[in-house]
Amino acid sequence: MSSSSQSDNERILRLIGAIVLVSQDAERYLKITLPFMGTEDASLNESLKKHEKLKKRTLGELAGRFVDSTTSDSLDFEQHLAYLVATRNQVVHHFNETYGERLSSGSYQEVFDSLETLLANLKTFRSVVEQLSLAVFEGLRDVTFRGTPEYGQMATLCASFRARVAS
């Protein structure tokens, strides 16, 4: 194997790894946020039960629930999120079928471009749901935990989360 080919393969592996990790982050943030969105029973206890039910859900299921729970009537938003999840799934679950022919023909740059675009879009989505998660935690701090012994712990947690999001 030539060093150029090895270098190209390593770059692809790094991009795939980043795509997996970023999409897992987005999935985790959706699991935090969704129990508090569009719900009739907004009690903490009910939200924690809903969170428990989401533990084994896939990114696709969570993204669908996210779209359903928003007030957006934009078909573009729904289609963009569906495309993002489908493209991520193609990379993670069907990489060779998706890119094998291009790689065999030496079209590495096309593959790099595709993977880098997906990664950038996933990072943007992760950032959005991360911000929503922070808003959920700060809302819990300011409403549910205000005046309780746990308020200080929640304030510390929120400050730590906010600092991590800002970095």
pLDDT over threshold 50, residue 25: yes
Residue 122: inside a domain: yes
Q: pLDDT tens digits, residue range 155-167?
A: 999 999 999 988 8
The mean per-residue pLDDT over the stretch 124-145 comes to 92
Residue 158: inside a domain: no
The domain of 20 spans 3-126
pLDDT recorded at residue 2: 46
pTM for this structure?
0.85
**3-state per-residue secondary structure call for 106-123:** CCHHHHHHHHHHHHHHHH
Q: pLDDT tens digits, residue range 78-118?
A: 899 999 999 999 999 999 999 999 999 989 999 999 999 99
Q: pLDDT tens digits, residue range 37-60?
A: 866 666 777 878 888 889 889 999
Residue 164: inside a domain: no
112, 11 in Cβ contact below 8 A?
A: yes
Residue 160: inside a domain: no
Q: Which of 146 and 51 is assigned the larger pLDDT?
A: 146
Residue 131: inside a domain: no
Q: How many independent structural domains does the chain possess?
A: 1
The mean per-residue pLDDT over the stretch 59-64 comes to 92
Residue 36: inside a domain: yes
pLDDT recorded at residue 6: 82
**Half-sphere CA count of 68, side-chain side, radius 13 A:** 9
pLDDT recorded at residue 41: 64
Residue 167: inside a domain: no
pLDDT over threshold 90, residue 69: no
Give Cα 167 to chain centroid, integer Å. 17
Supply the DSSP symbol for 150.
Answer: T
Residue 132: inside a domain: no
Q: How confident is the model at residue 123 (pLDDT cuts 50, 70, 90)?
A: very high
Q: How confident is the model at residue 130 (pLDDT cuts 50, 70, 90)?
A: very high
Supply the DSSP symbol for 34.
Answer: G
The mean per-residue pLDDT over the stretch 16-24 comes to 97
